[in-house]
Chains A and B, each alone.
Chain A
Amino acid sequence: MQQAQGTAKRPEDRSTEFVAVEGGKETASAGTLLVAAYLVMWALLLAFVWIGWRRGQQLATRLDSLEKALDRHDSAKS
Protein backbone atom coordinates (compact mmCIF):
# COMPACT_ATOMS: atom_id res chain seq x y z
CA MET A 1 0.00 0.00 0.00
CA GLN A 2 1.83 3.05 -1.25
CA GLN A 3 -0.75 5.63 -0.30
CA ALA A 4 -3.36 5.61 2.42
CA GLN A 5 -6.94 6.03 1.35
CA GLY A 6 -8.30 9.48 2.09
CA THR A 7 -4.90 11.15 2.45
CA ALA A 8 -3.45 13.30 -0.26
CA LYS A 9 0.20 13.43 0.80
CA ARG A 10 3.02 11.04 0.05
CA PRO A 11 5.37 9.97 2.90
CA GLU A 12 8.11 12.31 1.65
CA ASP A 13 5.74 15.32 1.68
CA ARG A 14 5.14 15.31 5.42
CA SER A 15 6.86 17.59 7.94
CA THR A 16 10.20 16.29 9.08
CA GLU A 17 11.27 19.02 11.47
CA PHE A 18 10.10 21.74 13.82
CA VAL A 19 12.03 25.01 13.56
CA ALA A 20 12.06 27.74 16.22
CA VAL A 21 10.66 31.08 14.99
CA GLU A 22 11.86 34.37 16.48
CA GLY A 23 9.02 36.36 17.97
CA GLY A 24 6.52 33.73 16.88
CA LYS A 25 3.49 35.62 15.50
CA GLU A 26 0.48 33.79 16.82
CA THR A 27 -3.25 33.92 16.82
CA ALA A 28 -5.31 33.54 20.00
CA SER A 29 -6.87 30.33 18.77
CA ALA A 30 -3.55 28.46 18.98
CA GLY A 31 -3.20 29.50 22.63
CA THR A 32 -6.76 28.40 23.33
CA LEU A 33 -6.08 25.06 21.66
CA LEU A 34 -2.89 24.63 23.68
CA VAL A 35 -4.63 25.35 26.98
CA ALA A 36 -7.58 23.16 25.96
CA ALA A 37 -5.23 20.27 25.25
CA TYR A 38 -3.56 20.64 28.65
CA LEU A 39 -6.93 20.87 30.41
CA VAL A 40 -8.16 17.73 28.67
CA MET A 41 -5.01 15.91 29.75
CA TRP A 42 -5.37 16.94 33.39
CA ALA A 43 -9.11 16.21 33.35
CA LEU A 44 -8.37 12.68 32.11
CA LEU A 45 -5.74 12.15 34.78
CA LEU A 46 -7.98 13.46 37.55
CA ALA A 47 -10.84 11.28 36.32
CA PHE A 48 -8.59 8.21 36.42
CA VAL A 49 -7.36 9.07 39.94
CA TRP A 50 -10.94 9.74 41.08
CA ILE A 51 -12.15 6.40 39.68
CA GLY A 52 -9.23 4.73 41.47
CA TRP A 53 -10.18 6.45 44.72
CA ARG A 54 -13.80 5.29 44.34
CA ARG A 55 -12.61 1.72 43.75
CA GLY A 56 -10.48 2.02 46.89
CA GLN A 57 -13.57 3.04 48.83
CA GLN A 58 -15.51 0.05 47.47
CA LEU A 59 -12.63 -2.18 48.55
CA ALA A 60 -12.74 -0.66 52.04
CA THR A 61 -16.49 -1.37 52.22
CA ARG A 62 -15.91 -5.02 51.29
CA LEU A 63 -13.18 -5.29 53.93
CA ASP A 64 -15.53 -3.73 56.53
CA SER A 65 -18.21 -6.32 55.88
CA LEU A 66 -15.62 -9.11 56.08
CA GLU A 67 -14.39 -7.78 59.42
CA LYS A 68 -17.98 -7.51 60.70
CA ALA A 69 -18.60 -11.12 59.67
CA LEU A 70 -15.46 -12.21 61.52
CA ASP A 71 -16.52 -10.21 64.59
CA ARG A 72 -19.95 -11.86 64.53
CA HIS A 73 -18.28 -15.26 64.21
CA ASP A 74 -15.92 -14.54 67.13
CA SER A 75 -18.71 -13.27 69.40
CA ALA A 76 -20.87 -16.31 68.56
CA LYS A 77 -18.00 -18.62 69.53
CA SER A 78 -17.28 -16.92 72.86
Chain B
Amino acid sequence: MQGSAKQPPLGIFPFLVAATLGVFLWLIQFVFFKAPVAQAEAGGLAQKIFYFHVPSAYAMYLCGVVCLVSSVAYLLSLTDKWNAWAQAGAECAVVFGIMVLTSGPIWAKKAWGVYWVWDPRLTTSLLSVLVYVAVVVLRAFAGDGEAERKFAAALGVLGTVNLPIIHYSVRKWGGNHPTVISQGGGGLKHPDMQLALGIGFLAMTLLSVVLLALRARQLSLAARVGRAEERAVAAGLTEGT
Protein backbone atom coordinates (compact mmCIF):
# COMPACT_ATOMS: atom_id res chain seq x y z
CA MET B 1 0.00 0.00 0.00
CA GLN B 2 1.39 3.42 -0.98
CA GLY B 3 -0.10 5.29 1.95
CA SER B 4 1.99 3.48 4.56
CA ALA B 5 5.20 4.80 2.97
CA LYS B 6 3.98 8.41 3.19
CA GLN B 7 4.35 8.75 6.96
CA PRO B 8 5.87 12.22 7.47
CA PRO B 9 9.15 12.42 9.39
CA LEU B 10 9.05 13.58 13.01
CA GLY B 11 11.33 16.54 12.20
CA ILE B 12 11.64 19.00 15.08
CA PHE B 13 8.77 17.45 17.03
CA PRO B 14 10.93 15.55 19.60
CA PHE B 15 12.85 18.77 20.30
CA LEU B 16 9.58 20.64 20.71
CA VAL B 17 8.36 18.06 23.24
CA ALA B 18 11.69 18.24 25.12
CA ALA B 19 11.55 22.06 25.14
CA THR B 20 7.96 21.96 26.43
CA LEU B 21 8.91 19.63 29.29
CA GLY B 22 11.95 21.76 30.15
CA VAL B 23 9.99 25.02 30.19
CA PHE B 24 7.25 23.43 32.31
CA LEU B 25 9.79 22.25 34.87
CA TRP B 26 11.24 25.77 34.93
CA LEU B 27 7.73 27.22 35.34
CA ILE B 28 6.86 24.93 38.25
CA GLN B 29 10.19 25.59 39.98
CA PHE B 30 9.89 29.35 39.45
CA VAL B 31 6.26 29.69 40.49
CA PHE B 32 6.54 27.54 43.61
CA PHE B 33 9.98 28.63 44.86
CA LYS B 34 10.82 32.03 43.35
CA ALA B 35 7.75 34.08 42.51
CA PRO B 36 6.65 36.21 45.47
CA VAL B 37 3.37 35.82 47.31
CA ALA B 38 0.80 38.47 46.39
CA GLN B 39 -1.39 40.56 48.69
CA ALA B 40 -4.17 38.75 50.57
CA GLU B 41 -6.94 40.45 48.54
CA ALA B 42 -5.50 38.84 45.39
CA GLY B 43 -5.62 35.40 46.99
CA GLY B 44 -2.19 35.42 48.65
CA LEU B 45 -0.38 32.19 47.83
CA ALA B 46 -3.33 31.06 45.69
CA GLN B 47 -2.60 34.01 43.35
CA LYS B 48 0.18 31.82 41.91
CA ILE B 49 -2.59 29.95 40.07
CA PHE B 50 -2.60 33.07 37.88
CA TYR B 51 0.70 31.97 36.24
CA PHE B 52 -0.97 29.12 34.43
CA HIS B 53 -4.60 30.29 34.53
CA VAL B 54 -3.92 33.28 32.27
CA PRO B 55 -1.53 31.39 29.93
CA SER B 56 -4.18 28.62 29.67
CA ALA B 57 -6.74 31.23 28.60
CA TYR B 58 -4.24 32.53 26.04
CA ALA B 59 -3.65 28.95 24.82
CA MET B 60 -7.43 28.53 24.48
CA TYR B 61 -7.51 31.68 22.31
CA LEU B 62 -4.60 30.31 20.26
CA CYS B 63 -6.35 26.97 19.68
CA GLY B 64 -9.58 28.84 18.94
CA VAL B 65 -7.80 30.87 16.26
CA VAL B 66 -6.36 27.65 14.79
CA CYS B 67 -9.90 26.23 14.80
CA LEU B 68 -11.26 29.37 13.10
CA VAL B 69 -8.59 29.58 10.39
CA SER B 70 -8.71 25.83 9.71
CA SER B 71 -12.52 25.77 9.68
CA VAL B 72 -12.63 28.59 7.13
CA ALA B 73 -9.89 26.87 5.10
CA TYR B 74 -11.88 23.61 5.26
CA LEU B 75 -15.09 25.30 4.12
CA LEU B 76 -13.17 26.72 1.16
CA SER B 77 -11.11 23.65 0.24
CA LEU B 78 -12.94 20.63 1.79
CA THR B 79 -9.65 18.82 2.44
CA ASP B 80 -8.91 16.26 5.18
CA LYS B 81 -5.90 18.28 6.33
CA TRP B 82 -7.88 21.40 7.24
CA ASN B 83 -10.67 19.32 8.75
CA ALA B 84 -8.09 17.64 10.99
CA TRP B 85 -6.60 20.97 12.11
CA ALA B 86 -10.08 22.41 12.76
CA GLN B 87 -10.99 19.43 14.92
CA ALA B 88 -7.63 19.51 16.72
CA GLY B 89 -8.11 23.24 17.39
CA ALA B 90 -11.56 22.65 18.89
CA GLU B 91 -10.38 19.73 21.05
CA CYS B 92 -7.36 21.61 22.38
CA ALA B 93 -9.52 24.70 23.01
CA VAL B 94 -11.76 22.49 25.18
CA VAL B 95 -8.76 21.15 27.12
CA PHE B 96 -7.32 24.62 27.79
CA GLY B 97 -10.79 26.03 28.38
CA ILE B 98 -11.50 23.45 31.09
CA MET B 99 -8.12 24.32 32.65
CA VAL B 100 -9.21 27.97 32.75
CA LEU B 101 -12.65 27.13 34.11
CA THR B 102 -11.26 24.93 36.90
CA SER B 103 -8.18 26.93 37.92
CA GLY B 104 -10.10 30.25 37.98
CA PRO B 105 -12.78 29.10 40.44
CA ILE B 106 -10.14 27.49 42.68
CA TRP B 107 -8.42 30.89 42.90
CA ALA B 108 -11.80 32.63 43.32
CA LYS B 109 -12.59 30.48 46.34
CA LYS B 110 -9.63 32.07 48.11
CA ALA B 111 -9.92 35.61 46.73
CA TRP B 112 -13.70 36.03 46.55
CA GLY B 113 -14.87 33.36 48.99
CA VAL B 114 -16.95 31.58 46.34
CA TYR B 115 -16.03 29.31 43.44
CA TRP B 116 -18.27 30.94 40.88
CA VAL B 117 -20.17 34.14 40.20
CA TRP B 118 -22.01 34.96 36.98
CA ASP B 119 -19.40 37.55 36.11
CA PRO B 120 -19.43 38.54 32.39
CA ARG B 121 -15.93 37.17 31.73
CA LEU B 122 -16.65 33.89 33.51
CA THR B 123 -19.98 33.52 31.75
CA THR B 124 -18.65 34.31 28.27
CA SER B 125 -15.69 31.96 28.85
CA LEU B 126 -18.09 29.17 29.86
CA LEU B 127 -20.22 29.81 26.76
CA SER B 128 -17.18 29.71 24.51
CA VAL B 129 -15.95 26.42 25.98
CA LEU B 130 -19.47 24.99 25.62
CA VAL B 131 -19.45 25.90 21.91
CA TYR B 132 -16.14 24.04 21.46
CA VAL B 133 -17.52 21.10 23.47
CA ALA B 134 -20.47 21.09 21.04
CA VAL B 135 -18.01 20.93 18.11
CA VAL B 136 -16.15 17.99 19.71
CA VAL B 137 -19.37 16.14 20.59
CA LEU B 138 -20.77 16.73 17.09
CA ARG B 139 -17.62 15.32 15.51
CA ALA B 140 -17.57 12.37 17.89
CA PHE B 141 -21.19 11.27 17.51
CA ALA B 142 -22.63 12.71 14.28
CA GLY B 143 -20.42 10.82 11.85
CA ASP B 144 -17.72 12.08 9.53
CA GLY B 145 -19.66 12.97 6.42
CA GLU B 146 -19.12 16.20 4.52
CA ALA B 147 -22.30 17.78 5.89
CA GLU B 148 -21.27 17.03 9.48
CA ARG B 149 -17.79 18.37 8.83
CA LYS B 150 -19.18 21.58 7.36
CA PHE B 151 -21.57 22.05 10.27
CA ALA B 152 -18.76 21.46 12.78
CA ALA B 153 -16.54 23.94 10.90
CA ALA B 154 -19.29 26.57 11.02
CA LEU B 155 -19.74 25.94 14.74
CA GLY B 156 -15.96 26.26 15.21
CA VAL B 157 -16.06 29.67 13.53
CA LEU B 158 -18.91 30.70 15.83
CA GLY B 159 -16.96 29.59 18.94
CA THR B 160 -13.97 31.70 17.98
CA VAL B 161 -16.09 34.75 17.20
CA ASN B 162 -17.08 34.63 20.89
CA LEU B 163 -13.43 34.96 22.05
CA PRO B 164 -13.11 38.75 21.56
CA ILE B 165 -16.33 39.12 23.59
CA ILE B 166 -14.60 37.34 26.50
CA HIS B 167 -11.62 39.65 26.15
CA TYR B 168 -13.62 42.90 26.08
CA SER B 169 -16.35 41.81 28.52
CA VAL B 170 -14.08 42.57 31.46
CA ARG B 171 -13.80 46.20 30.38
CA LYS B 172 -17.29 46.82 29.06
CA TRP B 173 -19.39 45.22 31.77
CA GLY B 174 -19.27 45.10 35.54
CA GLY B 175 -17.96 42.12 37.43
CA ASN B 176 -15.38 40.80 39.83
CA HIS B 177 -12.76 39.49 37.43
CA PRO B 178 -9.39 41.32 37.79
CA THR B 179 -7.90 43.27 34.90
CA VAL B 180 -4.28 42.96 35.92
CA ILE B 181 -2.56 42.64 32.57
CA SER B 182 -5.14 43.88 30.08
CA GLN B 183 -5.49 47.54 29.21
CA GLY B 184 -6.27 49.70 32.23
CA GLY B 185 -4.79 47.21 34.68
CA GLY B 186 -2.01 48.15 37.06
CA GLY B 187 0.05 45.11 36.09
CA LEU B 188 2.30 42.80 38.02
CA LYS B 189 4.29 44.83 40.53
CA HIS B 190 7.35 42.60 40.89
CA PRO B 191 9.86 41.54 38.18
CA ASP B 192 9.66 37.90 39.30
CA MET B 193 5.88 38.00 38.91
CA GLN B 194 6.32 39.28 35.36
CA LEU B 195 8.94 36.63 34.59
CA ALA B 196 6.71 33.85 36.01
CA LEU B 197 3.89 34.98 33.74
CA GLY B 198 6.29 35.15 30.77
CA ILE B 199 7.45 31.57 31.41
CA GLY B 200 3.81 30.54 31.75
CA PHE B 201 3.00 32.02 28.34
CA LEU B 202 6.01 30.30 26.78
CA ALA B 203 5.12 26.95 28.38
CA MET B 204 1.49 27.09 27.27
CA THR B 205 2.43 28.22 23.75
CA LEU B 206 4.77 25.23 23.38
CA LEU B 207 2.23 22.87 24.92
CA SER B 208 -0.55 24.04 22.64
CA VAL B 209 1.69 23.64 19.56
CA VAL B 210 2.65 20.10 20.69
CA LEU B 211 -0.95 19.06 21.39
CA LEU B 212 -2.30 20.64 18.20
CA ALA B 213 0.38 19.04 16.02
CA LEU B 214 -0.02 15.65 17.69
CA ARG B 215 -3.80 15.60 17.40
CA ALA B 216 -3.95 17.04 13.87
CA ARG B 217 -1.43 14.45 12.67
CA GLN B 218 -3.43 11.64 14.28
CA LEU B 219 -6.68 12.93 12.75
CA SER B 220 -5.07 13.22 9.31
CA LEU B 221 -3.88 9.63 9.60
CA ALA B 222 -7.36 8.52 10.72
CA ALA B 223 -8.86 10.22 7.66
CA ARG B 224 -6.36 8.43 5.39
CA VAL B 225 -7.13 5.09 7.02
CA GLY B 226 -10.84 5.83 6.58
CA ARG B 227 -10.38 6.47 2.87
CA ALA B 228 -8.28 3.29 2.51
CA GLU B 229 -11.06 1.35 4.28
CA GLU B 230 -13.65 2.78 1.88
CA ARG B 231 -11.51 1.72 -1.08
CA ALA B 232 -11.01 -1.75 0.44
CA VAL B 233 -14.77 -2.14 0.88
CA ALA B 234 -15.41 -0.91 -2.67
CA ALA B 235 -12.84 -3.40 -4.01
CA GLY B 236 -14.49 -6.20 -2.04
CA LEU B 237 -11.43 -6.76 0.15
CA THR B 238 -13.26 -6.18 3.43
CA GLU B 239 -16.82 -5.86 4.62
CA GLY B 240 -18.06 -2.43 5.64
CA THR B 241 -18.72 -1.87 9.36
Contact = CB atoms under 8 A, between A and B. Distances in A.
A67 B237 CA distance: 10
B217 to A, nearest CB: 10
Interface in A4-31: 4-7, 9-11, 14-21, 24-27, 29-31
B222 A37 contact: no
Nearest to A3: B174
Interface in A53-71: 55-56, 59, 62-63, 65-67, 69-70
Contacts, number: 172
Nearest to A6: B118
B221 to A, nearest CB: 6
Contacts of A6: 117-118
Given A1-B173, A65-B238, A38 B44 contact: no
Given A17-B187, A20-B190, A30-B110, A38 B52 contact: yes
Interface centre among A3, A37, A72 (most CB of B within 10 A): A37
Contacts of B28: 38
A11 B175 contact: yes
Contacts of A38: 28, 52
Given A65-B238, A66-B225, A73-B237, A21 B174 contact: no
Contacts of B170: 11, 14
Given A24-B38, A33-B107, A33-B110, 7 more contacts: A7-B118, A18-B47, A30-B44, A34-B48, A40-B106, A62-B225, A63-B4
30 contacts: A4-B119, A4-B120, A4-B174, A7-B117, A7-B175, A11-B172, A17-B186, A17-B189, A18-B193, A21-B38, A24-B37, A30-B43, A30-B44, A30-B45, A30-B46, A30-B110, A33-B46, A33-B107, A37-B53, A37-B102, A37-B106, A40-B102, A41-B52, A41-B103, A52-B218, A55-B222, A59-B222, A66-B1, A67-B1, A72-B237
